[in-house]
Amino acid sequence: MRAVDLSLVVFVAVYAVMITGRVPGLALDRTGACWLGATALLLFGALSREQAWRAIDVGTIGLLLGLMVVSAQFRRSGFYAHLTRCLALRQTSPTRLLGELIAVTGLLSAVLTNDVVCLAMAPVLIDTCGRRGLDPVPFLLALAAAANVGSAATLIGNPQNMLIGQQLALPFAGYLLDGAVPAVAGLFVVWVVLARAYRGQWARSLPLPAAALEPFDRWQTSKGVVVLVVLIAGLLCLPVPREVQALAAGGLCLLSRRVRTRALLDLVDWQLLLLFAGLFICNAAFAQAGHAAHGFAWLRAQGLDVADPITLFATSVVGSNLVSNVPLTMLLLPAADTPLAGPILALATTLAGNLLLVGSIANLIVVEAATRLGVAPLRRSWALEHCRTGVPITLATLAIAALWLWLRHGTLAR
């Protein structure tokens, strides 16, 4: 098989698994498919070893790794569990608790990886709702939706935003002006939609096992806060590359007399890093063979130019719910050649994650935790329950994002 043909076959196969989530009949998931695809390209000579190494964006991998270690510092210190427990056990109305949870989750997701926030907070939220006799479902939906919306505010809130910021060299402060307003307004939308959808339906008696909580370590949490504040200040002010700053911040978290290095590194999502590396290699082979350029040219001939901001916005929304936002972002980045392309990709791919249950890893993390602990919606499946609030949240937040970009930049047209 010619190398050019192999790159096309591997690309189609890998992105098919991105859509389905796994290979039928096998337990092979998206990360495994990326591994096998990249290996096949090397094995049969579609890419040389040197070309494969150069295809991997070390800056993006380094940024992800450094921020994952910083997030692990907060998780290992018991910060997420302690904060969630204090928040949910306060004597306040369910509607106010919902708003406070959304605000806190959105803020944390803007500066720490949204998936980690959901992973750490979901079991504790379920436990505390059970103690208060509250239905965990609306609060879990709020956790996932707020994590997605809040992460859109910055270039470090989620993996696809990190990738976009690195590859397009977007300024951290400059994007903050594009992302923060839609994110804050979007968090308010999340509260309004969920508060109305569950008005008068907050109570629910649900026997649940007690959550296993990390003990809260005030010193380690304080250390994480200092490191995070210094990192954000550096990202805003210093000319040092973002990945170097993130790796330095992660290194400071590893300096400890009590917490073993392995304890933090065990909390790093190595599968996501491997998925990124595999996708970089598969996409590089696809582009090197000329398939990417031919594909974009064919789309333009059909009247669908993804370099056009409006088309890019719509494609990002639809595609994120088909192949997931990270692989879609990698696919569309070669066409991101307009000043608005970066903010459009970051906002549209992130906010679209609330449309369907499978549109975001954060959604799946929350539902997996709920299922494991015996929580299910009363009248619908998780997919339908999510759609009931996810669709209006997504449409409203996307409209806000489009309006804000239009107000800031004058037009969404080229």
Tell me, yes or no, whether 291 lies in a domain. Answer: no
Residue labelled with tokens 């993130």: 246
Tell me, yes or no, whether 62 lies in a domain. Answer: no
pLDDT over 60 (residue 414): no
**Tell me, what's the pLDDT at 1?**
45
pLDDT over 70 (residue 208): no
Q: What pLDDT band is residue 321 in, cutting at 50, 70 and 90?
A: confident
Q: How far is CA 255 from CA 78, 153, 250, in A?
A: 18, 30, 9
Q: Return d(Cα 60, Cα 159) in angstroms, integer.
A: 9
165 token code pair? 């910021």
pLDDT over 70 (residue 2): no
Q: Report the alpha-carbon angle 393-307-287, nearest 5.
A: 110
**Tell me, what's the pLDDT at 296?**
82
Tell me, yes or no, whether 285 lies in a domain. Answer: no
- Answer for the pair 139, 197: CB distance below 8 angstroms, yes or no: no
Tell me, yes or no, whether 101 lies in a domain. Answer: yes
Q: Note the pLDDT tens digit of each residue in 211-239.
A: 566 688 999 999 999 999 999 999 999 99
- What is the reported pTM? 0.88
pLDDT over 90 (residue 357): no
Highest mean pLDDT among 300-304, 323-327, 342-346: 342-346
- 171: which DSSP letter? -
Q: What pLDDT band is residue 148 in, cutting at 50, 70 and 90?
A: very high
pLDDT over 50 (residue 381): yes
Q: Burial-class residue 192 by CB neighbours within 10 Å (0-12, 13-18, 19+).
A: middle
Tell me, yes or no, whether 244 lies in a domain. Answer: no
Tell me the torsion sign for CA atoms 336, 342, 347, 350. positive
Q: Note the pLDDT tens digit of each residue in 18-42.
A: 877 778 888 888 889 999 999 999 9
Tell me the torsion sign for CA atoms 317, 355, 8, 6. positive
Backbone angles phi, psi at 29, to 5 degrees: -100, -170
- Give the mean pLDDT of the chain: 89
341 token code pair? 């392309």
Tell me, yes or no, whether 85 lies in a domain. Answer: no
Q: What pLDDT band is residue 387 in, cutting at 50, 70 and 90?
A: very high
Q: What pLDDT band is residue 386 in, cutting at 50, 70 and 90?
A: very high
Q: Note the pLDDT tens digit of each residue in 61-72.
A: 999 999 999 999
- Picking from 55, 110, 15, the residue whose alpha carbon sits closest to that of residue 327 is 15
Structural domains in the chain (count): 1
Q: Three-state DSSP class for 152? A: coil
Q: Note the pLDDT tens digit of each residue in 82-94.
A: 898 888 888 889 9
Q: Note the pLDDT tens digit of each residue in 149-179.
A: 999 999 999 999 999 999 999 999 999 999 9
**Tell me, what's the pLDDT at 218?**
92
**Up-side HSE of residue 307: CA atoms within 13 Å toward CB?**
13
- Picking from 219, 172, 284, the residue whose alpha carbon sits closest to that of residue 78 is 219
**Tell me, what's the pLDDT at 378?**
75
Q: Three-state DSSP class for 289? A: coil
- Of residues 45 and 324, the one with the higher pLDDT is 45
- Picking from 294, 331, 286, the residue whose alpha carbon sits closest to that of residue 7 is 286
- Which of 116-125, 272-281, 303-312 has the lowest average pLDDT? 303-312
Tell me, yes or no, whether 307 lies in a domain. Answer: yes
Give residues with Cβ within 8 angstroms of 174, minimum separation 6.
none
**Termini Cα distance of the chain:** 41
Domain that holds residue 385: 92-203+302-414
Tell me the torsion sign for CA atoms 113, 117, 119, 120. positive
**Tell me, what's the pLDDT at 4?**
47
- Which of 35-44, 334-343, 348-357 has the lowest average pLDDT? 334-343
Q: What is the mean pLDDT of residues 347-358?
A: 91
- Of residues 215 and 192, the one with the higher pLDDT is 192
Q: Note the pLDDT tens digit of each residue in 258-283.
A: 889 999 999 998 988 998 899 899 98
With residue 237 as reference, give the H or E element that holds it.
helix 218-237
Tell me, yes or no, whether 63 lies in a domain. Answer: no
